Structure 1
């Protein structure tokens, strides 16, 4: 990154006002919420929640990326939002989430003609000379 370092307020912070560690967030906030929703099992007494990449903080990042890509955000911007140094890495990681070109093509054509559906273009509208 270029420019002078800047201090920003955190959206979420721990009791001391510092950043929330991923492990703390996963173990005491995110996974209990998943268990309460019935998406993952509660741990046995004295045990931790099972470790699974798809149930941790990574799942939130993946969801965020999928929402932005589905909305049409470009890879370069998404890479910056996720803090990736290389947009190529972002593309390789999230390309499977990008809407297919066939869907975009159909939507573009549908959107073009959507406004014309209420107009009468039948033979009776031809100009008489």
Structure 2
């Protein structure tokens, strides 16, 4: 489910956590919860691609801060738009198949196409 909001938040989305490419945790050291394609397809084209921040909650967890990417991941040349949520909490186990709810409070920045994976990681460390 994807809902545009007007009072204090940009949008709400909820759906099942699915396997992504594995780049977030393995290559970047930034594990992400990927939303299923049916949710991504509900996002209007008018929703800007880029990085957002807000809150996230899994089925049986408290609410945590999150940073979320919506878009094409230009460095990796994705052919499909994706939604990847980085929850600012260390989890003991994966939660594939669980339901995640996110509320985006603020748009932070657009997606960038980095010249190397090292530059992408450095940018994330210093500016996100």
TM exceeding 0.5: no
Q: Which has the larger Rg?
A: 1
More helix by share: 1
In the superposition, the TM-score normalised over structure 2's length comes to: 0.21
